[in-house]
Amino acid sequence: MKLDTLMRRTLLAGASLAVMAAQPVLAQDFPQGGTLRVAISQMAPSPDPVVTTFGVNWATAGVVCEGLFALDESWTPQPMLADSFAYGEDGKTLTVTLRDGLKFHSGAALTSADVVASLERFRESAGIGAAFKGAVSAITAPDDKTVLFDLPAPSPIIPGLLAGSQAVIMSTASLEGASPTEATRGLDCTGPYTLTEYQPDQGVTMTRWDDYASRSEPSSSASGMKHAYADQIVFRLMPEASVRRDSLITGEIDIAGELPSDFYDALQNDPNTEAVVVPNNQSLTVVFNTKEGVAADVNLRRAMYYALEMEPIMLASVGNPEFYTLDPSWIPDPNSFWYTTAGVPDGFGTPNPDKVKEYLAASNYKGEPIRWLVASEQYQKHFLTAITASQMLEEYGINVEIVESPMANYIQARADATAMDAFSSFLPTYVDPTSIAYLNSSYPGFWEDPEKVELMQQIATTIDPDERKAIFEKIHALAYDQFPFIKFGTEANMYGIRKGVGNPARIPSRAGDYYNVAPPPAS
């Protein structure tokens, strides 16, 4: 079998299983028109997705921008701006041909030079960008429609790495003065909506772009046709969950994102609203600073894991056992090909006092406070998990200092190894293990264990999907030995909609595809 064919098969590994299990609802026909009003809990200072590893801040770019590839509802990358792609005979080159007639919102034609400029910036960014940099040795543009990727070794992961919001393509002109840490002045992209207004303390307005060139394939999450039902999509910043709920009930908004399960009955009992529950949405976690400081002690991290009882932590955060599972897998969606529980100690979620004492005795811990960062905008996912866990840890003399700050300060502090020992976070399902932010050494937490680095190199250059799965299981087991991060459980995502909202997302892989969601009919 040719190497190119094998790598294409690798991209599709597990896709059929996921599609059958997820039972996605394809977009129906809805009339265009109206404004889709979405209440969100937080916003980044800039809509530029490259300058932050915090995924919830990629929402605007997910509507306005596009990349060479996009994920479908089975977490499989499909061509988006790419018309076709092919690996070389030796697997060490990837050639992508762009679709005809594409242009940016500014009116400039999309060429391969724009792709190179965007991806050169992306590969110098943290998280997924760092994984992309390790997998690609050079990006060139042989002509205006062709992008050539030189690979140090055969690797099937490139389309998956290029399917995320951080790898979107912007015009070269709009990147002037920008860097991996300095944001662009706007978003000059190719997506179905233009960025009309962005106010970090208020919200976002995006307007349908009439010159958008959609793909013709059926809609499937971020891939295929984008219907752009709404004339405008408006994000309104509402940090307080109760305000989002009340605004939905009164009809001020059409979608209320990220609602606690406590609001389920109120939305279901209101004749004009519906509570939408998306299962297996993301893992609630704490990430440790493995580079320096008190949490760099692996035996202290082991002691902390065995001191925790996960059920009360998840109950405190989520509020209803029907909205979470005590699933230890670092791949929260069981429909993913990569789902595994390899290496998970027996009795996940149950404290083991003997293990705590054993590892504390082997550690160098002397009662120093563990600086645990939480973002004030993420009270339930961040603060409530941290405070509940800290109370359990105190029973063993492990002291936690919770440091609460606004999101912007939290993001800045967690990137500074001298400023924190741990931080609350959450992790969704990714298309490929090489895309998992926590596994990249440049991600805050800085897990640079040599065995992990070697295994990540192996999985990035191995072609056979079953062999890659076996390598990932070793990585998963290593994480459950060294505990660079600890998972508390998997939460469902609950959000609210007004009755009449068309084609709302009901599976995790459809998060953020507001261009395929229709506003409710005008009353």
Q: Kindly indicate whether the domain formed by 3-7+44-185 is annotated with CATH number 3.20.20.70.
A: no
pLDDT by residue (tens digit) across 324-346?
A: 999 999 999 888 889 999 999 99
Residue 20: per-residue pLDDT: 36
The alpha carbon of residue 256 and the mean position of all alpha carbons in its chain are separated, in whole angstroms, by 19
**Per-residue model confidence as pLDDT tens digits over 211-264:** 999 999 999 999 999 999 999 999 999 999 999 999 999 999 999 998 988 899
What is the CATH architecture assignment of 280-492?
Roll (3.10)
Asked if pLDDT for residue 512 goes beyond 50, the answer is yes
* Tens digits of residue pLDDT in 4-29: 555 555 555 544 334 433 444 444 58
pLDDT at residue 54 is higher than 90: no
Q: 298-307 and 353-362 helices cross at what angle (nearest 10)?
A: 160
What per-residue confidence (pLDDT) applies to 177? 92
pLDDT more than 70, % of the chain: 94
List the one residue out of 115, 148, 110, 149 whose CA is nearest residue 132: 149
CA–CA distance, 98 with 111 (Å, rounded to integer) = 8
**What global pTM score does this model have?**
0.78
Summarize the confidence of residues 372-394 as an average pLDDT: 93
Give the mean pLDDT of 36-45.
Answer: 92
123-to-102, 128, 175, 202, 448 alpha-carbon distances in Å: 23, 8, 14, 31, 19
Q: pLDDT tens for residues 118-145?
A: 999 999 987 788 889 989 999 999 999 9
Inform me whether the pLDDT recorded for 293 exceeds 60.
Answer: yes
Residue 407 binned pLDDT confidence (cut-offs 50, 70, 90): confident
Q: 56 pLDDT exceeds 80?
A: no
Determine contact, residues 32/249, Cβ cutoff 8 Å. no
pLDDT of residue 431: 85
Lowest mean pLDDT among 297-301, 336-340, 516-520: 336-340
Can you give the residue ranges of every domain in the chain?
3-7+44-185, 280-492
Query: How many Å apart are CA 368 and CA 70, to the nearest integer?
Result: 45
